Amino acid sequence: MSQVSKSSPSPEVCFNIGPKERQKRLIIGLAAVAVGVGAFVALRAESAPWWANLALLPIFFAGAGGLIQWREKTCMAFAMRGVRNLDGGVEAIADEAEKQALRERAARIRSTSLAAGGLATALAILLSLIG
């Protein structure tokens, strides 16, 4: 059964992952942020050059991506494939409007995750320059 009206998907109810899938993204997001912070601390302890902090970008991007997918109840990969998993297994989404709404949401999640990862990396670089 579709979670979204056939006429026009509402952003409030348009999602493609259930509670168990959301928990996976939360754990991955928190773990990636923790790894990124740990890596930053290690780089600081080794007096690494400022540019070494650029390696933190994909880690912080992954962390932000996991946390934002958790908050938005939307898996970017599932959205691009046109499927959902509401904890009963992966199933195809038949409604084209719902698929399009999820793809648009996934694009926003991706760009927001990149911006958040970039900001975290910029903060790491700044902290390495002033300390």
pLDDT value of position 10: 52
- What pTM was computed for the model? 0.87
Q: pLDDT for 55-92, tens place per residue?
A: 999 999 999 999 999 999 999 999 999 999 999 999 99
- A 10 A CB-CB count for 14 gives 24
For residue 48, CA distances in Å to 15, 33, 94, 131 come to 42, 20, 51, 12
pLDDT value of position 131: 73
Average pLDDT, the chain: 92
pLDDT value of position 5: 42
Q: Tokens 């600081």 sit at which residue?
A: 44
Residues 6+ apart with CB under 8 A from 92: 82, 83
CA distance 30 to 96: 33
Please identify every stretch of the chain with a pLDDT value under 50, giving residue numbers as ranges: 1-2, 4-7
